[in-house]
Amino acid sequence: MICNRCVWVVVPAFEEARLIGAMLRGLPPTLSGVLVVDDASTDDTAGIVTGFIDEQHENAAPSVAPPLFLVRHTQNAGVGAAITTGYRAFLERATDPDAVCVVMGGDNQMDPHDLAVLVDAIRRGSDYSKGNRFVADQARSNMPWVRWCGNIGLTLMTRWATGLWHISDSQCGYAAISRSALSRLPLADLYARYGFPNDMLLHLAELGMSVADVPVRAIYAGERSKIRLPRVAPRIFWMLLSGWIRRQCRAGVMGVVLLLLLAASCLLPFLVLLGAHTGGLALLAMAAVLLALLLSALRESRAPCASSH
């Protein structure tokens, strides 16, 4: 039990043989269970986890205390798919309606001492609590600068797309969700790869769930990220743009007007190429869209769902 809640941890793992042992040994013994999802690793990730499971069955004082379970993908499906598999396993095994599921990566970059902070946010009424690494003083010095810049850009776009303006670290995978909230999510529709955190926030915002932004500590030891930002960024941008459009379609007259202005601003630059007299009109339309976006952002930033805590 943590914060009077039964807490399970889902660990998506791909090629984490070097680090997953240290990650599992650092988990608190008070967890109700740990679900490791091996996403078809070609190294010994699954073998190391299996060794810990065998040790639990044979030893009265194993090096990993919480009950440990391994789920394996036969083909690599992506980190989002691994988390979704873990979520399904959690819903099957956790019978307590107040249980909480926490996602921790197998790369040992998430401090287990922050589990209580994430779970406590759920205990206090949030549906979903998300780690924010940028609050910590050492975050900027510890995080590689390329990852820092990419996270800042994607966080700004995620805020705009979801209306969750209090979220400051959209890409942090260290997150907790209540069992009741998880049971309401369309798990089959969640994004399978590195855009999963952004897609998760889109779904939570669409369902009107409360999202907490809590400070956590990130641990970096020179390991290289598996994310290839130039390849994944366009996909995430399109996902966020699509989510923003869906949200505006449900926003009534203001949302429809905003979409029409956006469409006009996209078409008018092409008209400029056909005739010089349309240049002023194009600039006017773009200015109107920018103003509308700013007004929309201001309105949403004051909405209750945008200030969940």
Place of tokens 């998880």: 182
Closest CA to 151 of 177, 120, 173: 173
Helix count (H) and strand count (E) of the chain?
11, 7
Q: Which residue range(s) make up the domain with 183?
A: 7-244
DSSP string over 256-277? HHHHHHHHHHHHHHHHHHH-GG
Residue 11 shares a structural domain with residue 143: yes
Do residues 208 and 234 share a domain?
yes
Longest dimension (CA), the chain: 82
DSSP H helical ranges for 75-136: 79-93, 115-123
Contact by Cβ (8 Å): 211, 130: yes
Same-domain check for residues 213 and 260 = no
CATH number of the structural domain spanning residue 121: 3.90.550.10
- Block residue for tokens 């952004």: 198
Residue 64 and residue 18 share a domain: yes
Q: Looking at 244, 260, 293, which one is the last position of a domain?
A: 244
Please spell the DSSP secondary structure of 167-231, one letter per residue: -S-TT---EEEEHHHHHHS-GGGS--STTHHHHHHHHHHHTT--EEEEE--B--SSPPP---HHH
Count how many domains the chain has: 2
**Sheet-wide strand order for 33-38:** 68-72, 33-38, 7-13, 100-103, 175-178, 128-132, 211-215
- Indicate whether 118 and 145 sit together in one domain: yes
Pull the structure tokens for residue 259.
């979409």
pTM for this one?
A: 0.84
Whether residue 186 sits in one domain with residue 61: yes
Q: Spell out the per-residue pLDDT of the chain, length 309, in tens.
A: 899 999 999 999 999 999 999 999 999 999 999 999 999 999 999 999 999 999 999 998 899 999 999 999 999 999 999 999 999 999 999 999 999 999 999 999 999 999 999 999 999 999 999 999 888 656 666 666 777 777 888 999 999 889 898 999 999 999 999 999 999 999 999 999 999 999 999 999 999 999 999 999 878 765 555 666 667 778 888 899 888 888 878 777 666 767 766 666 666 666 556 555 555 666 666 666 666 666 666 555 555 444 454
